[in-house]
Amino acid sequence: MIQSIPLHPSFEIAYTGPDLSAGPLPALFYFALSAQDSLGLDPFNQPVAYLSSLPMRIFSMTLPGHENQLPPTEALYVWAQGMSRGNNIIADFVQKVKTAVEMLGEQGVLIPERIAVAGLSRGAFIAAHAAAIIPQLKWMLGFAPLTQLAFAKEFHELRDAPTVKSLTLEHLAPDLIDRRIRFYIGNLDTRVSTRRCFDFVEKLAQTAFEAKIRSPEIELIIGPSIGRDGHGTSKEVFHDGAQWIAEQLGAVDVM
């Protein structure tokens, strides 16, 4: 069952799992589409479905461009239009995520050392930005992650804009090297670019090395591409990532 929490006048957060009255539990923040669809629409909710039997909660918030039942395929156009008007809608949304984490923490429903963030495609892009500014997010999981807005066709005319360039995930590397990170991507994903994902992971590893972090826990798992533009994610991959998160959070093994 998906429940909504009116935490703040400007946004709502939805979650699955035990009622908040059950007290603090491990938590995963997961971003894919709208909050309801991220948690309830197959196949995007496969990580949620896989973890549904565990004593943990999965929270989500509606990504920019997914409000009011806007077509999901138009979301990045909405992002581009907003940025063309000078609105950094990514930074604005990530601040809302930060506020949500802080408010849930104040309500005593989170375990501070057992919180993770995950996302699919543009949701993984958001998850990385959230992890970079929210220290409580110790683990990050991304499926077919978007790493550069400038690579997306919707941003073709804005690819040289300073704000668009500044949001490239490589710039977040210094703030992410102490997290445990795992990405999954197809071997020929032409929607978000397998190469750009690899370059980001390599940047993370190089930055960690320069910071004298030995064997940083940063992983990239490349498998056969499926779906349109090689950008699909199989149920097996969703489940493998969800299993990893369950283990990291110390939840009961679901295998």
Q: What is the mean pLDDT of residues 100-116?
A: 96
Buried b (16+ CB within 10 A) or exposed e, 177-216: bebbbbbbbbeebebbbbebbebbbebbbebbeeeeeeeb
Distance between terminal CA atoms of the chain? 22
Q: What is the CATH number of domain 3-248?
A: 3.40.50.1820
Whether 227 and 240 have beta carbons less than 8 Å apart is answered as no
pLDDT digits (tens, 9 = 90+) for 111-150: 999 999 999 999 999 999 999 999 999 999 999 999 999 9
Domain boundaries, the chain: 3-248
The pair of structure tokens assigned to 208 is 């960690």
pLDDT digits (tens, 9 = 90+) for 184-207: 999 999 999 999 999 999 999 999
pLDDT of 210: 96
Confidence bin at 254 (pLDDT 50/70/90): very low
Q: How far apart are CA 182 and CA 241, in angstroms?
A: 8
Q: How far apart are CA 253 and CA 255, in angstroms?
A: 6
Whether 136 and 115 have beta carbons less than 8 Å apart is answered as yes
Q: How far apart are CA 7 and CA 105, in angstroms?
A: 12
What is this structure's pTM?
Answer: 0.95
